[in-house]
Chains A and B, each alone.
Chain A
Amino acid sequence: MSFIKYFIGGIILLLIEKILISKGVSCNFSFLFIFVFTINYFFPQKQHKRINSSEIIPVGVFLFFGFIEDLFQGIIGPFIISKTITGTCLMILVHQLFFNWNEFLKSLVILSFTILDNLIYTFVVSFFSNINFNYILTVKSFLAEALLNIPIGLILTKGKP
């Protein structure tokens, strides 16, 4: 697995995400990166699970990607927390549900984990600062981001695991 490929892909994905957000489109492509990386890391080939794979590397990738995303916001921490927790939960799921993966389940995973990622980030930000949220708009954008991620996530991990 080429980590340079993932690094460049991740940075491009983040730039696209920031451009789209600046154009008023709600998106959370950073979770997609975590999802695609985790699936590809544990299932390098179709229906072929990596045995005794290192779990430190994915956690390191989640940490690094969260850090890069935090650099754009000016506060280091919130994205590291959300990406590490979401990524670790995803790793647990990948370990547990080897035989049951299908497109419907993948859609549900993308939907629920994108929302989880956003929820953790929002909670951390609101816990440490006095930022006010318009809750209706926030929930709407969570759902929109999760729904947008489903087709892209399915295409990017087509045929896996």
Chain B
Amino acid sequence: MIKKSTIILSCGIVLMSFILINCQMKNMINFPKFNILPLLYPIESIKNFFSEIFILKQENHELKKELYQLKLQQKSLENLIEENTRLKALLELKESKKEVLTVAKIVSKGFNSFSKTVWIDKGTAQGVKINMPVITFNGLIGKIISTSKDFSEVLLITDPNFSVSVKVERTNVEGILSGNGNSCVLKYIPIDEDIKVGDRLITSGLDGIFPEGIKVGVVINIEKRKGLFQNIDVAPLQSVSKIAEVAIVKTSI
């Protein structure tokens, strides 16, 4: 039989751990998170270097093409922005400022199997801060949840702990979008509100984290059951498994 002292020792360790976790949750003690990414990054970098050489030439060609197209559009957009600013000033509306802080590469997926996160190669040294929105050309993909000097962790839009205040582009109905592990769900939309499959969602800016107007996702399924709210499934506009580069947005809401 196992000794009594071993059982007492194990119980003591478990009890002490419970107390320790409790203290950490109340911020009485804080332990630094050991980041293994700097250990793994050199291996990943070598691997990425060779694969990147092949795609750079093609990407360069496509980017040049895109640049010409954007140059053509730029002038007309500048006029529109000027006109918009002038009209907003007339109406005394304040606009939230959106500015890309930096562009970052995704270096790894998260190391915790319970959460949907990715690591990017920009950190506090580049001005990245917790809660900053992270986007791609297609739309929102998440927010910064932890930072170190050269790396940051991004909580993805599909994580069950992620939520963002959104509105339906067509009707301006507001709700909360959360992740469910694989895709997203739109919550707190009253049962009588007009929502259709294919409706596009954008951030509403009401949560104080994400600026207004970032594309988020498309409604793919609606269920109207008994109760106050509809069950709405949303597909993110940016598939989280196919991201290589992201932009971190500096906000001043």
Contact = CB atoms under 8 A, between A and B. Distances in A.
Interface of A: 15, 18-19, 21-24, 26-27, 55-56, 59, 63, 71-78, 80-81, 84-85, 88, 91-92, 95-96, 122, 124-125, 128-134, 137-138, 141
- Size range of the interface on B? 35 or more
Given A74-B31, A76-B24, 16 more contacts: A21-B111, A22-B109, A27-B113, A59-B10, A72-B33, A77-B20, A78-B21, A84-B13, A88-B6, A88-B10, A91-B6, A122-B114, A125-B114, A128-B25, A132-B160, A137-B182
Nearest to A125: B114
Contacts of B115: 131
Contacts of B21: 75-78, 124, 128
Given A91-B2, A133-B114, A63 B36 contact: no
Contact of B13 (A80, A128, A130): A80
B113 A55 contact: no
B110 interface: yes
A85 B10 CA distance: 7
Contacts of B31: 71, 74-76
The 5 closest A-B pairs by CB, nearest first: A74-B33, A134-B181, A77-B21, A132-B160, A55-B6
Nearest to A58: B6
Interface string B25-62: 10000011110100110000000000000000000000
13 contacts: A21-B111, A22-B111, A71-B34, A72-B36, A76-B17, A77-B20, A95-B2, A122-B114, A125-B114, A132-B161, A133-B160, A134-B160, A138-B114
A141 B21 CA distance: 25
Nearest to A74: B33
B144 to A, nearest CB: 15
A134 B115 CA distance: 10
A23 B180 CA distance: 20
B138 interface: no
B71 interface: no
B110 A22 contact: yes
B22 interface: yes
B9 interface: yes
A84 B10 contact: yes
Contacts of A18: 36, 40, 111
A15 B113 contact: no
A37 B33 CA distance: 26
Question: Which among B21, B22, B31, B180 has the greatest number of chain A C-beta atoms within 10 A?
Answer: B21
